[in-house]
């Protein structure tokens, strides 16, 4: 388990943040955030005051990575690129999360290494991570100013023949009582743009392989844009399904058989295919996974409930 609680002895009275800095080789700001999250305990109780001094026995809850051997597809002294598998989180979403890609990132490059962008848990493909804080700042800024170009592949429901673009604004949903969509199309939303190029149509599956080029980085942008044009990504349990199906999925009560019939596939059929960016030299990295062959995860057309 990546988060552990470990006992330490502080031999001489000192500021709590200073002990954390020295023990875990953190900056003052990082150490103070550990305290602010209540992860230093005395007699089983968290202390939150970053100015408190400590002495004697304390407990600290911290992230201790545990590798499963997922090595980078490509790396330099500054960054790493991983192939993320569908179903794997990038970061732990709770302290009890058993495994995330952060386990591999921190195992390889230490506590200052971090993922610099997010991919949905069920999306597979390329994930970029920094090896140190200077690289993290640079790469996160590159994502923010859109100088990093990404492409995705998606298997979608139905036939698409011609390239098209969608520039519908996307707004975060604050009311899940009527829909479980995390975002939706709204004139009040943020500017969003995605280009799509159909690559192959499988008539037996009634599914199209589409290359997706997002020019903005909104939450679920590709998913909601394809849903908007009535060609949802196969396997998407949120967009393109009923309220009940989405709710059952979120409550972890949707069986695999139900999911395949009601969403069209056993997983979200979205894959982060390429990254194009500069870090000194220009880098263009493509996934080595043959996502095209993953169409064997798609439910046959005649067995898909939402297609009947």
Residue 54 is encoded by which pair of tokens? 């400590």
Angle at 217 between CA 184 and CA 172, to 5 degrees: 25
CB 81 within 8 A of CB 101: no
For residue 271, the surrounding DSSP H or E stretch is strand 270-278
The DSSP-derived string for 25-68 is T--HHHHHHHHHTT-EEETTEE---TT-EEEEEEEEEEE-----
Of the CA atoms within 13 Å of residue 300, those in its CB half-sphere come to 2
Asked if 120 is an active-site residue, the reply is yes
Return the closest-CA partner of residue 294 out of 258, 257, 264, 256: 264
d(CA 146, CA 216): 7
d(CA 243, CA 252): 14
As a whole number of angstroms, the longest Cα–Cα distance in the chain is 73
For residue 138, the surrounding DSSP H or E stretch is helix 133-144
d(CA 175, CA 198): 34
Residue 231 is encoded by which pair of tokens? 């060609």
**Token pair 């009275």 in the structure block, residue:** 13
Residue 210 buriedness (CB in 10 A; 0-12 / 13-18 / 19+): buried
Candidate list 103, 120, 206, 248, residue with the active-site label? 120
How far does CA 148 lie from the centroid of its chain? 17
Query: Which residues are known catalytic residues?
Result: 120
């Amino acid at each position: 388990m990546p988060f552990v609680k470990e006992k330490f002895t502080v031999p001489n009275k000192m500021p709590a943040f200073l002990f954390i800095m020295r023990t875990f080789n953190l900056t003052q700001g990082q150490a103070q955030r550990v305290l602010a999250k209540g992860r230093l305990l005395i007699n089983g109780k968290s202390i939150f005051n970053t100015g408190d001094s400590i002495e004697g026995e304390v407990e600290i809850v911290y992230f201790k990575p545990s590798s499963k051997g997922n090595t980078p597809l490509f790396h330099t002294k500054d960054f790493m690129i991983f192939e993320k598998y569908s179903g794997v989180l990038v970061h732990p979403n709770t302290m009890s999360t058993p495994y995330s890609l952060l386990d591999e990132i921190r195992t390889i490059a230490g506590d200052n290494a971090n993922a610099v962008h997010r991919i949905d848990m069920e999306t597979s493909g390329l994930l970029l991570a920094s090896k140190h804080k200077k690289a993290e700042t640079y790469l996160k800024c590159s994502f923010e100013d859109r100088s990093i170009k990404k492409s995705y592949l998606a298997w979608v429901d139905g036939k698409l023949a011609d390239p098209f673009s969608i520039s519908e604004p996307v707004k975060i949903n604050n009311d899940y009582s009527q829909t479980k969509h995390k975002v939706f199309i709204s004139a009040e939303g943020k500017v969003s743009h995605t280009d799509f190029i159909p690559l192959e149509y499988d008539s037996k599956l009634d599914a199209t392989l589409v290359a997706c080029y997002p020019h903005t980085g909104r939450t679920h942008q590709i998913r909601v844009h394809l849903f908007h044009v009535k060609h949802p990504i196969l396997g998407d349990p949120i967009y393109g399904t009923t309220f009940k199906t989405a709710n059952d999925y979120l409550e972890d009560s949707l069986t695999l058989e139900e999911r395949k019939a009601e969403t069209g596939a056993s997983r979200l059929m979205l894959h982060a295919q390429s990254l194009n960016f500069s870090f000194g030299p220009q880098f263009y990295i493509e996934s080595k996974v043959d996502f095209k062959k993953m169409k064997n995860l798609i439910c046959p057309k005649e067995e898909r409930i939402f297609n009947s």
